[in-house]
Structure 1
Amino acid sequence: MALLADLQERKARAFTTWADVTCEGALRWEARRAEQAAAATRLQHQQRTGTITGGSTDNDGPAVTRLLTVATQWDHARSVLAHVADHTPLPGPEARLLVLMLTLRAAHTGTGNLVGQDLAALGLTDPQKLVEKLTGCGWLTLPSTAGELLASRPENHTPITVPSLVPLEDNAGPFTFGKKMRPKLSGWAQNVISDKKLRKAKATSATRLLALTLATQSDASGRLGPDGHGITLNALTGLVPVVAGELQHLVDQLTQADWLTDAALTDTHLTGQLTERVLPLTCPLLA
């Protein structure tokens, strides 16, 4: 059943690619069906054996119920992080984190809804000034001021528009996932950055970005990098906009927050193991 689930995930990725090339909605529907079939098959396997771990089985390991359940969802999470790394209009980790969360809110149509608490949860130094910079450079459009956005409440949310994410007539936009996938990815990212122990440690935006990155760059057991061999510093600093010399402090914060263990930072790689408590938030790299 684990093999069947893997095949269904491969089928989903194939149909998604095919749909991107042909712009056929029926193919995207087939991709979603394959995703659902893969998730159902994995759930059946877990119920029978209690040993499923990400995209593979481990007869000696504990079951891990992940927030994002199948490989296509994990690939989508990585695609959003990569897109934001290439398209954030302002420098620094705070801008990168805010752009990431706004992108996830507006990823499907270029529009979304936001309230002040959404921004407060990010722990930004000066969220109003940062929002004003994003509107000032044209990356973000609001019907009100940044101050009014920060004051908005769930019963009176603020609509936002990210023009670069609005699909053109002949283009499906930068992402291939549908409208049902968007809130799943947004919820996953929100769970990572608002992790209780990260908040208690008053983790910086850079630390939270690193937590998100490591969650998408580990194997099924939580070892960092492909096959657990570590992540290159070039890859890390591409996704987390800090200089290599600042990484040790971020790694220390994640270790203190019970996010990372056995971490070792060299001139070229970061190796280590994500802790068991955060494995449900991971998006494993599959061989």
Structure 2
Amino acid sequence: MGVPQFSDHQPPTGTAAPAPTPRSVPARRRPRQGKIAQRVVPHDLLPDTLRDELIELGDLFRAYQRREQPDLALLADLQERKARAFTAWAGVTGDDDLREEARRAEQAAATIRRQHQQRTGGVTDGDGPAVTRLLTVPTQWEHARSVLTHVAGHAPLPGPEARLLALMLTLRTAHTGTGNLVGQDVNGLGLSDPRDLVEKLTGCGWLSLPGTVDDLLASRPESPTPITVPSLVPPEDGTGPFTFGRKMRPKLSGWAQRVVTDKKLRKSKAPAGPRLLALTLATRTDASGRLGPGGQGIALDTLAAQVPADPDGLQGLIDRLTAADWLTGAALTDTHLTGRLTERVLPLTCPLL
């Protein structure tokens, strides 16, 4: 039998070891070339970290364009990275066009960031923290505006007191036409004569109660009074004046309750007019609290449709809100109300987009 051979044995003496196979030297590869913003990233651009960043950003922007759903926070981050990278690229090459592209990317990042903050309910003031709103998304803000608009066009009785009470009852009964109420819900609205106003609403058929008005005003949370607003009871086809569902209604009602029972409005014993104006202004600001679209003010005809008051009466309501630390810098002209809601009430706002 032959001697077994093992891989760790040396070859027999006198036998030449096989010569090692020479390794081929790989050809030097040219750096990967990429594109960003319709520009080719030069393969010899230095430093390498800048070239790699530009190529990666180009890939990320193209990947973003293939997304099914937008992500504004991600897009703002990409634009900020692009601004920094193009600024560095311009510094290396001295190309003013690249510097201009960096400036546009920086502006785009700021705009997209504001849009994201508005859509998610957050807004930053300089370096301060984002505002967390009670109603957090634009669809909720639009639903709140839709209720105010509906009540303004279907008010059962004239005057700010009837308008405010009808608004709060609409929010309690929206979607089904029925809901529960306790005495404090009515007594806490700053009405001059709650009993008389509720009787007028039941007398004209707008509101239906199972018992007396006194029973309603005396009811407590452990035994609320069921109420019905017949005009809000859906017809057989299920359609109604509002598009939001059951889960949305209590959120909107809770938001309105927070506004009209604001601590400083209560302490100042504000009547119905200022509370109704507070609700209206909360739905007519930009993300930073400035009144009107783009902070340009609210047209008086828009205010008049929501808050029944003549110009002199409106000035009095504005003064009450200013004293209650709701409004600052208010100026009333022949056509517009300008100003800003104070920082403390920004969480209650529903920004215009």
TM-score norm. by structure 1 comes to 0.81
Rounded to whole Å, the distance in 1 between the matches of 2:266 and 2:71 is 40
Q: Deviations over 1:184-216 (max 9, x none)?
A: 000000000000001111112110010000000
Per-residue displacement from partner, 1:62-110 (whole Å, max 9, x unpaired)? 3000000000000000000000001111000000000000000000100
Look up the match of 1:255. Answer: 322
- Please tell me whether the aligned partners of residues 72 and 116 of structure 2 are also in contact (alpha carbons under 8 angstroms): no
User: Which residue number corresponds to residue 163 of structure 1?
Assistant: 230
Instruction: Find out whether 1:218 has 2:282 as its counterpart.
Output: no
Partner letter of residue 182 of structure 1?
R
Determine which of 32, 48, 54 is the counterpart of 2:118.
Answer: 54
Deviation, 1:171, is: 3.7
In the alignment, what sits opposite 2:168?
Answer: 101
Q: Return the alpha-carbon distance in structure 1 between the equivalents of residues 247 and 257 of structure 2.
A: 16
- The 8 Å contact of residues 53 and 221 in structure 1, kept in 2 or not, is answered as no
Q: Which structure is higher in helix share?
A: 1
Please tell me whether the aligned partners of residues 113 and 160 of structure 1 are also in contact (alpha carbons under 8 angstroms): yes
CA deviation digits over 1:16-57, x for unaligned, max 9?
Answer: xxxxxxxxxxxxxxxxxxxxxxxxxxxxxxxxx9x9743376
CA shift at 1:117, angstroms?
A: 1.1
Q: CA separation in 2, counterparts of 1:257 and 1:155? A: 32
Match of residue 184 from structure 1: 251
Residue identity matched to 2:216: L
Cα 1:164–1:132 shift into 2, 3 Å? same
The structural deviation recorded for 1:3 is 5.4
SS in 2 for 1:262: strand
Matched residue SS, 2:210 = coil
Map 1:1-287 → 2, pairs under 5 A: 4=71, 53-55=117-119, 60=126, 62-286=129-353
Gaps of at least 5 residues in structure 1 are 7-48
Q: SS at the partner of 1:123?
A: coil
Identity of aligned residues (%): 71
Higher relative contact order structure (alpha carbons within 8 Å, sequence separation ≥ 6): 1
Q: Following the alignment from structure 2 to structure 1, what is the Cα–Cα distance between the partners of residues 309 and 124? A: 36
**TM-score, structure 2 length as denominator?**
0.66
Give the CA RMSD over aligned residues: 2.1
2-structure distance, mates of 1:220, 1:102: 28
Q: 1:119 to 1:59 in 2, by over 3 A?
A: closer
1: distance between equivalents of 2:215 and 2:297?
44
Q: How many residues align?
A: 243
Structure with greater Cα Rg: 2
Q: Could you list the runs of 5+ residues in structure 2 that have no partner in the other structure?
A: 1-63, 74-112
| In structure 2, C-alpha distance between the alignment counterparts of 1:123 and 1:135, rounded to whole Å | 20
Task: Quote how far apart the aligned CAs of 1:59 are.
Answer: 8.0
